[in-house]
Amino acid sequence: MKFLYLNAHWLPRIALTSVLVFHGVLKFLNLEGFAQMLPISYLEVVLVAVAETVGGLLVLLGGFGDGVISDLATRIGAALNIPVVVGAIALVHWGQWNFVPSESHPMGGFEFQAVLILIMMYLAIIGNRGLVPEAAIQPPTAATN
C-alpha cells in the first residue's frame, strides 16, 4: 500500500503530460493550419505549442525529484498552461459543456478542458508538496492496524 501512496502522483502527471505534449507537438507539426483555424496569430500558435510541450514535460520531470527545482518545475509547468486552456475554452469550446461535438460546436464543449484546468490548478498550488500523504511515509503502528 505504501508503494501506491508514494507513486500515485504519477497518475495525474502522466495524464496531464500526455494531453499537453500531444497537443503541443500536434501544433508544431501544422503551425500554419492551426493559425488559420484559430482566431490567433501565427506567433501565438507557436507560443501555445511551446507552452503545451514544455509545460507538459516540466510537470512530468518535476515528479523525479523532491527538491525545490522539481517542485518549481511541477508548478510552472502546470501554471504555464492554465491560460492556454482558458483561451481554448474562450475561443473554441465556450457555450457547450458536453465534450461531444455538435453542429454548433464541432470541436465539442469545455467539459474536458475544465477537468484539465482543475488538475493544473491543483498542481500549480500544491506543487510536489502534499502529493504524498504523510501517513504513507510513516510505518503503520499497532494503533492504526
Distance of CA 142 to CAs 6, 58, 75, 132, 139, Å? 21, 40, 37, 22, 10
- pLDDT at residue 135, rounded to an integer: 47
- pLDDT at residue 131, rounded to an integer: 57
- DSSP letters, 31-60, are HHHHHHHSSS-HHHHHHHHHHHHHHHHHHH
Q: What is the pLDDT of residues 27-81, one digit of tens each?
A: 999 999 999 988 899 999 999 999 999 999 999 999 998 889 999 999 999 999 9
pLDDT more than 90, % of the chain: 60
- pLDDT at residue 66, rounded to an integer: 84
- Is 139 a residue whose pLDDT tops 70? no
pLDDT band at 89 (very low <50, low <70, confident <90, very high): confident
Cβ atoms of residues 32 and 98 within 8 Å? no
User: So where are the chain's domains?
Assistant: 2-129
Q: Which residue has the higher pLDDT, 116 or 66?
A: 116
Nearest Cα residue to 44 out of 79, 77, 76, 91: 91
- Kindly state the average pLDDT of the residues 76-103: 89
Cβ atoms of residues 46 and 78 within 8 Å? no
pLDDT band at 104 (very low <50, low <70, confident <90, very high): confident
